[in-house]
């Protein structure tokens, strides 16, 4: 999977948001709030093809979390990204 | 037609319009003798534009009651716009713009020349000031006690009505703009709101400005209630209300910096309200932090 063209992670006064920018996402009139770990994952996979396992590895590298817990978290996050049409 | 160059100052930015065949009332208060500051663009009215071989890259959705803007791009990277006042109406103006939005030429098609001119000026202003900390907002704004209070909301929410309620209840309140003021994040981090030549159906074209006291997002409700908004919700309100036609990704950094700076400097509120005096009293008391007149 891959993050679609036009979605950008932006810092906002100490928080993180994802917005749609430019012609490719001109009709995406929403804004997604991201926690620190989701923003960290986003930064590491933006513009690349990635798998669930890639995300789990990234999460386990950075945070003290079991592989099972990491997989659960990643699946939940990806479900949200998919729901909002951010992935292709 | 006599050649003529007019210089205008809007939100402390300068632009010029050349060979305009009429003198639009809404621009009159912004006319200045010289450009003694930053000139953001120049527009020339021409009789015709060469037919261009270019691709349609975007057209705004053709909703009843809303204007239609078509955007084309030439192989040189320059842009070409067509504006229609409503879906199905003839094209009222055509404009060719260089890729930095600095130099533009336009043709007035004779059907709705004032509409076409103002649409193109707004597009040019929005794009050429994007990296300079300016945002054109959809808002009704009043000044009260030396500060500007901006009311946001979808069309038909009652922004203008709420401004009228402030004017009726609080002596000294003045309408600064009823539809499209300009907001600027200044280098010192302060935020000011400026009157503009574009004010929807209300002829309120003022060369005035004020520091922003608060931004209030309005929502119709069968009661009056006001809530302070977190930064992230304030940002969402700005996104919704900033000029909606923003197809250029390379301008997004500038818009984001401006909106983030506004969120950091200005308090945001949501007002769920009726169109009544109590709504204005509650809003004024809360955002102003002062007692109301009895």
Residue B236 is nearest to which of A6, A11, A31, comparing CB atoms?
A31
- Chain A residues lying within 8 Å of B58, measured CB to CB: 23, 26
Contact: A23, B249; criterion CB under 8 Å: yes
The whole-angstrom distance between residue B81's C-alpha and the CA centroid of its chain comes to 18
Contact: B263, A13; criterion CB under 8 Å: yes
Last residue of a domain, one of B91, B110, B128: B128
Last residue of a domain, one of B128, B146, B170: B128
Q: Which pLDDT does position B294 carry in this prediction? A: 40
Domain around B206: 135-288
Q: Do B267 and B183 sit in the same domain of this protein?
A: yes
Listed as own residue / partner, the contacts of B250-253 with beta carbons closer than 8 Å and 24 or more positions apart are B250/A22, B251/B127, B251/B130, B251/B131, B252/A8, B252/A19, B252/A21, B252/A22, B253/B131
Q: Which pLDDT does position B3 carry in this prediction? A: 56
Q: Which pLDDT does position B1 carry in this prediction? A: 43
Q: Do B119 and B209 sit in the same domain of this protein?
A: no
Chain A residue with CA closest to B252: the answer is: A21
Q: Is the pLDDT of residue A41 over 70?
A: yes
- E strands, B139-276, are 140-144, 147-152, 174-177, 182-185, 191-194, 209-220, 225-228, 268-273
Q: Which pLDDT does position A28 carry in this prediction? A: 77
Enumerate residues 55 to 84 of chain B having a beta carbon within 8 A of any beta carbon in chain A: 57-58, 61
Of residues A81 and B155, the one with the higher pLDDT is A81
Q: Do B83 and B118 sit in the same domain of this protein?
A: yes
Contact: A23, B239; criterion CB under 8 Å: no
Q: What is the pLDDT of residues B152-182, one digit of tens each?
A: 998 889 999 999 999 999 999 999 999 999 9
- Chain A residues lying within 8 Å of B61, measured CB to CB: 27
Q: Do B271 and B139 sit in the same domain of this protein?
A: yes
Q: Is the pLDDT of residue B98 over 70?
A: yes
pLDDT band at B259 (very low <50, low <70, confident <90, very high): very high
Q: Is the pLDDT of residue B233 over 70?
A: yes
Q: Do B58 and B182 sit in the same domain of this protein?
A: no
Q: Do B115 and B63 sit in the same domain of this protein?
A: yes
B294 within some domain: no
Averaged pLDDT of chain B: 92
Q: Which of A20-29, B72-81, B236-245 has the highest mean pLDDT?
A: B72-81
Shortest distance between the Cα of B183 and any Cα of chain A, in A, equals: 19
Q: What is the pLDDT of residues B209-230, one digit of tens each?
A: 999 999 999 999 999 999 999 9
Angle between helices B231-241 and B252-265 (to 10 degrees): 130
Q: Do B110 and B234 sit in the same domain of this protein?
A: no
Shortest distance between the Cα of A41 and any Cα of chain B, in A, equals: 20
Query: Does the model's ipTM exceed the 0.95 cut?
Result: no
pLDDT band at B243 (very low <50, low <70, confident <90, very high): low
- Chain B residues lying within 8 Å of A15, measured CB to CB: 231-232
Q: What is the pLDDT of residues B115-160, one digit of tens each?
A: 999 999 999 999 999 999 999 999 999 999 999 999 999 888 999 9
Chain A residue with CA closest to B256: the answer is: A10
Segments in chain A forming alpha helices (H):
36-45, 52-62, 67-83
Find out whether B246 and B255 touch, Cβ atoms under 8 Å: yes
B293 within some domain: no
Find out whether B152 and B139 touch, Cβ atoms under 8 Å: yes
Contact: B249, A29; criterion CB under 8 Å: no
The total of structural domains in chain B comes to 2
Q: Which pLDDT does position B290 carry in this prediction? A: 57
Last residue of a domain, one of B99, B128, B157: B128
B161 within some domain: yes
Q: Do B80 and B156 sit in the same domain of this protein?
A: no
Shortest distance between the Cα of B87 and any Cα of chain A, in A, equals: 18
CA–CA separation, A84 and A42 (whole Å): 15
Q: What is the pLDDT of residues B47-89, one digit of tens each?
A: 999 877 788 888 887 888 888 999 998 888 899 999 999 998 9
Residue A21 is nearest to which of B231, B252, B263, comparing CB atoms?
B252
B54 within some domain: yes
Segments in chain B forming alpha helices (H):
113-128, 159-169, 231-241, 252-265, 277-288
Domain with B147 in it: what CATH number?
Answer: 3.90.228.20
Q: Is the pLDDT of residue B33 over 70?
A: yes
Q: Which pLDDT does position B293 carry in this prediction? A: 44
pLDDT band at B244 (very low <50, low <70, confident <90, very high): low
Q: Is the pLDDT of residue A24 over 80?
A: no
Q: Exposed, middle or buried by CB within 10 Å (0-12, 13-18, 19+), for B215? A: buried
- Chain A residues lying within 8 Å of B260, measured CB to CB: 10-13
Q: Do B177 and B162 sit in the same domain of this protein?
A: yes
Closest-CA residue to B287 (of B213, B230, B218):
B213
Q: Do B15 and B157 sit in the same domain of this protein?
A: no
Q: Does B267 touch chain A (CB under 8 A)?
A: no
Averaged pLDDT of chain A: 92
B30 within some domain: yes
Q: Do B176 and B277 sit in the same domain of this protein?
A: yes
* Percent of chain A with pLDDT strictly greater than 90: 80
B168 within some domain: yes
Q: Which pLDDT does position B178 carry in this prediction? A: 97
Q: Do B70 and B160 sit in the same domain of this protein?
A: no
């Amino acid at each position: 999977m891959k993050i679609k063209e036009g979605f950008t992670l932006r810092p906002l006064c100490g928080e993180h948001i994802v917005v749609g920018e430019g012609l490719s996402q001109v009709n995406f009139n929403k804004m997604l709030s991201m926690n620190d770990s989701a923003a960290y994952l986003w930064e590491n996979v933006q513009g690349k093809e990635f798998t669930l396992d890639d995300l789990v590895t990234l999460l386990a590298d950075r945070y003290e979390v079991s592989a099972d817990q990491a997989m659960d978290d990643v699946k939940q996050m990806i479900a949200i990204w998919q729901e909002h049409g951010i992935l292709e | 037609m006599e050649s003529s160059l007019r210089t205008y100052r809007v939100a402390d930015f300068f632009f010029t319009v050349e060979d305009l065949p009429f003198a639009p009332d809404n621009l009159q208060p912004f006319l200045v003798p010289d450009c003694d500051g930053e000139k953001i663009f120049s527009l020339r009215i021409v009789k015709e534009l060469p037919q261009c071989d270019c691709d349609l890259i975007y057209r705004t959705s053709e909703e009843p009651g809303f204007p239609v803007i078509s955007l084309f791009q030439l192989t040189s990277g320059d842009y070409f716009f067509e504006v229609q006042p409503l879906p199905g109406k003839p094209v009222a103006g055509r404009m060719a713009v260089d890729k930095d939005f600095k130099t533009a030429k336009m043709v007035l098609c004779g059907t709705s020349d004032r509409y076409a001119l103002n649409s193109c000026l707004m597009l040019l202003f929005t794009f050429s000031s994007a990296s300079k900390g300016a945002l054109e907002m959809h808002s009704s704004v009043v000044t009260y006690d030396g500060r500007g209070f901006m009311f946001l909301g979808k069309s038909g929410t009652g922004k203008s009505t709420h401004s009228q309620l402030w004017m009726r209840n609080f002596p000294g309140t003045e309408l600064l703009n009823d539809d499209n003021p300009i907001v600027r994040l200044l280098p010192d981090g302060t935020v000011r709101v400026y009157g503009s030549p574009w004010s929807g159906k209300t002829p309120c074209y003022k060369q005035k400005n004020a520091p922003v006291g608060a931004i209030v997002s309005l929502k119709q409700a069968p009661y009056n209630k006001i809530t302070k908004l977190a930064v992230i919700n304030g940002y969402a309100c700005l996104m919704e209300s900033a000029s909606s036609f923003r197809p250029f990704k390379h301008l997004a950094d500038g818009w984001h910096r401006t909106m983030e700076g506004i969120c950091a400097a200005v308090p945001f509120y949501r007002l769920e309200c009726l169109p009544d005096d109590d709504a204005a009293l509650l809003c004024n008391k809360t955002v102003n932090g002062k007692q109301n007149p009895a």
